[in-house]
Structure 1
């Protein structure tokens, strides 16, 4: 199994939190979220993966959606966190802090 596949598997568990963090910074849309993740080095993340997460966030009522005209094609869906989304993000970072501290402890042993 290649390193890239292993990274993709590890990332699946935290990608939703990463998307929430990006949305928390400013109202944005799917392609822009994918681009930001790719710029961070998560080059294996594709639009389809991000859109699946966005659908789940919408279904779980964690985002507010505004449709805005696009220069190319149909209107774009812009996403912003609502109160429930901000709480979900806070919980994600709390869990991430716990997990990363324990992994770092384990690494030192």
Structure 2
């Protein structure tokens, strides 16, 4: 983790991070999504469930993910979230917008 600091999730990026995680790993329960985001960020992102679950619920309401009950590796009951076809299309669109905006910001900050 850079300088040992946590990083706040930028407004509007949580959905993109969740969609990308589910696209990369397949169906996951919320805790596994949070753990993966912490892992790939080198510990800089540590999402609490009060942040993550509203995002998952919002994505489910928009039809971008589906949810089902299942068992975790620790044999606990949990909701597993999976990207829908609509979610895959939205992910590609949001990724494109993100890379475009990141390029613009890089040019502005030079």
- 1:36 and 2:49 matched: no
What is the TM-score when the length of structure 2 is the normalising length? Answer: 0.81
Please state whether the residue corresponding to 2:108 is helix, strand or coil. Answer: helix
Structure 2, unpaired ranges of 5+: none
Q: Could you list the per-position Cα deviations for residues 46-102 of structure 1 after superposition, in whole angstroms to 9, with x for gaps in the alignment?
A: 122111100001111111222113423xx2111111111001101110110110000
Q: Does the residue aligned with 1:45 lie in a helix, a strand or coil?
A: coil
- Structure 1's consecutive aligned runs of 4 or more residues displaced over 4 angstroms after TM superposition are none
For 1:13, the equivalent position in structure 2 comes to 12
| Counterpart in the other structure of 2:21 | 22
CA offset at residue 35 of structure 1?
A: 0.7
Q: Aligned to 2:81, which of 79, 82, 101?
A: 79
Counterpart of 2:91? 89
Matched residue SS, 1:11: coil
* Preserved CA contact (<8 Å) 2:70 2:80: yes
Bigger fraction of residues in helix: 1
SS at match of 1:103: helix
